Amino acid sequence: LVIDNGISKDLCHRMFPESKSLIRVVEPRRTVQSISNEDAVEWVSSPETEHRAFASLCRELMCSRIEKCLADALWASSVDNYPEEGLKHTLFPNDKINYRPSYWSSTGKSNPATSESLIYRLTSRLCLVSEVYVHPFEAYFQSGAPLYSSERVRFHLGYWKDPESYGDDDESPSSFTEESFVWTYSSPEFQMARVNRLQKFELPKPVFCIGGILKVELIGRVQTQQMDGLYYICVTHVQVVGTRISPHFDVEAADGNGKFTLKY
């Protein structure tokens, strides 16, 4: 009766509404051919499979295991000097590596209202995200050590737009833009403190990210550079904290409209 009525799926949907985009559940059926050829695995679906998968997924999402969930830096809306001030530097917690400054910098703008976006890949295509940390960069090598923070920050979670390239971790950053992604969650705006430290931003409630992509939207500029009078935003480090769902789960795009197949 529990299986026939889809109770485990309904429970998962109530507790984590983002899971409603998982429209199909499949598991591998092992055959003699698939033992030696992974591509020969046959994926099948049944009410029993769906029940086990959603029950297990709920347990994963409700566990208290907290870990860092940021894997790679994918794209920035601008970079002042590449690669010296590229986005990859924000994966590391220190503002100096091998005696050289380590940070990302935007290009300079005359309009302080101009925003910037930083896009990252999470450690799994399925993550429960609870907190994001951002450390604005203090330019200790410039006169007065100016701090190039943004005024506010907002976070977006989503997935690759093109099902054909979904989850292609080897794709070159130059081959996509901000329009290559779809955002299924947007946080409230948070005020960024003008201090040289790692700042914690806790989401109103943990968000089940299906797709494994994070965008950090940096809103408003507060600091000009003395040499050119333009406004910049610079970031030392970004980190994400949450729960990475077990590698026993995976997803693939079921269509181009934000629906997914859950592989269990």
Tokens 């209202």 — which residue? 113
Do 52 and 115 sit in the same domain of this protein?
no
Do 224 and 96 sit in the same domain of this protein?
yes
Do 58 and 128 sit in the same domain of this protein?
no
The answer to whether residue 170 sits within a structural domain is yes
Do 22 and 42 sit in the same domain of this protein?
yes
Tens of pLDDT along the chain (264 residues) come to 455 557 899 999 999 999 999 999 999 865 555 455 566 567 787 888 899 999 999 999 998 789 999 999 999 999 999 999 999 999 999 999 999 999 999 999 999 999 999 999 999 999 999 999 999 999 999 999 999 999 999 999 999 887 565 445 544 555 678 888 999 999 999 999 999 999 999 999 999 999 999 999 999 999 999 999 999 999 999 999 999 998 889 998 887 788 999 998
| Tokens coding 252 | 């693939």
Do 87 and 30 sit in the same domain of this protein?
no
Do 39 and 112 sit in the same domain of this protein?
no
Do 145 and 174 sit in the same domain of this protein?
yes
CATH number of the domain at 204, please.
2.60.120.260
Do 207 and 84 sit in the same domain of this protein?
yes
Task: Provide the residue range defining the domain that includes 202.
Answer: 67-244
Do 123 and 234 sit in the same domain of this protein?
yes
The answer to whether residue 258 sits within a structural domain is no
Q: Which of 18, 44, 62 is the last residue of a domain?
A: 62
Q: Which of 39, 62, 85 is the last residue of a domain?
A: 62
The answer to whether residue 74 sits within a structural domain is yes
Could you give the residue ranges of the DSSP H alpha helices within the chain? 7-15, 32-36, 47-62
Do 117 and 201 sit in the same domain of this protein?
yes
- Total domains present in the chain: 2
Do 80 and 185 sit in the same domain of this protein?
yes
Q: Which of 62, 85, 108 is the last residue of a domain?
A: 62
Do 42 and 165 sit in the same domain of this protein?
no
Cα 220 to Cα 36: distance, rounded to the nearest angstrom: 55
Is beta strand 126-136 parallel, antiparallel or unpaired with respect to 100-101? unpaired
| Tokens coding 188 | 């409230």
The answer to whether residue 202 sits within a structural domain is yes
pTM of full prediction above 0.85: yes
| Tokens coding 150 | 């943004």
In sequence order, what are the beta bridge partners of 158?
Answer: 183, 213
